[in-house]
Amino acid sequence: MEDVRMSMKSKIESKLEDTYCEAFKGICSRVIVTADDEETLKRAAYDATSTPGTVIGRVEGGVESFIDGSKTPDGRKGAILQFWYNSNNIQKFEVELSYRIRQDILVKPFTSLFDASVDPAGKIGTMKQVGHCGDGYEWEENLYGRDMIVVPIAIPDFKIERELGYMNGVMGANFWYMCSSKEAVLEAGRAALKAIGEVEGVIAPFDICSAASKPETNYPWIGPTTNHPYCPSLKKTLQEKSMVPGGVGYIPEIVINGLNMGSVFEAMKVGIEAVMNFDDVLKVSAGNYQGKLGDYNIQLKELFE
């Protein structure tokens, strides 16, 4: 065990850059989706969380974990999902969240949706934006000890809890792992995601992200555009302005959202440790904006103190 600790310490000293990531305040709705079978459950969970969108004014989400029937209100297989928004505009969040529920969960056979918030800061009613999909024929009923809305649909029937809590949390924490080989991008990234998946209360909304961005842009109607100094294909074009280290051909990013800073720290730590075990990961760094944009600065080396 001592040898393992020394090996990791050596890797941290040689690979971890003395830098920080910037993270942001956000609001999160944490829910449980259930279904009769695993295939439908996974389709609903992944479809509903497939498009990270806070940088363009939409919600983003991720699968926190899959759970068995002993941990769900209706005793069926379930998935804990998180949906995030980077604004306190609760009405806009309610609308954006409803799109994910209506278009990606309600339409899947025999699904139901329940609140899974912990100490919520507030509640979002689901009748206006989701319940009324029943066109006035929907009804309320106490089921599984919860106040539910039953939405009549062609495969009877979609059930959703009457209110969903929302919580304050941390979003946009990140680290970059700089690779010398294409294989390391996926192998190291998947190892990091597996380790992060063991941490309760966090998601990685972009999975392995290949497109780190920056806030300043030549095309503001698009939103954030490519962080060009870190694009390996632009190294010759940018010359001394390139920030790509020698030998690095790929710079993927892992983004982490979490219900509290403690879970974010733990997820970043185990994710970084996972990628450092790959020889073709030459450096680990993070995206920041000189401390001018985010609400929090998370120093990478402090994660290992």
pLDDT for residue 2 is more than 80? no
pLDDT for residue 12 is more than 90? no
Quick one: average pLDDT of 197-208? 97
Tens digits of residue pLDDT in 78-123 = 999 999 999 899 999 999 999 999 999 999 999 999 999 999 999 9
- In angstroms, the CA 263 to CA 272 distance is 14
pLDDT for residue 223 is more than 90? no
Report DSSP state, residue 11. Answer: H
DSSP track, 207-224: SSB---EES--S-TTT-S
Residue type for position 56: I
pLDDT given at position 305 = 87
pLDDT for residue 203 is more than 80? yes
Tens digits of residue pLDDT in 29-46 = 999 999 999 999 999 999
Pairing of strands 77-85, 20-35: antiparallel
pLDDT for residue 303 is more than 80? yes
Quick one: average pLDDT of 209-226? 90
How far is C-alpha 258 from the chain's CA centre? 8
What is the pTM (predicted TM-score) of this model?
0.94
Whole-number percent of the chain with pLDDT over 90: 86
Whole-number percent of the chain with pLDDT over 70: 98
pLDDT for residue 250 is more than 70? yes
pLDDT higher for 105 or 223? 105
pLDDT for residue 1 is more than 70? no
Determine which of 128-137, 157-166, 207-216 has the lowest per-residue pLDDT on average: 207-216
pLDDT for residue 231 is more than 90? yes
pLDDT given at position 118 = 95
pLDDT given at position 4 = 62
- Using CB atoms within 10 Å of the CB of residue 30, give its burial: 0 to 12 exposed, 13 to 18 middle, 19+ buried: buried
Counting every residue, how long is the chain? 305
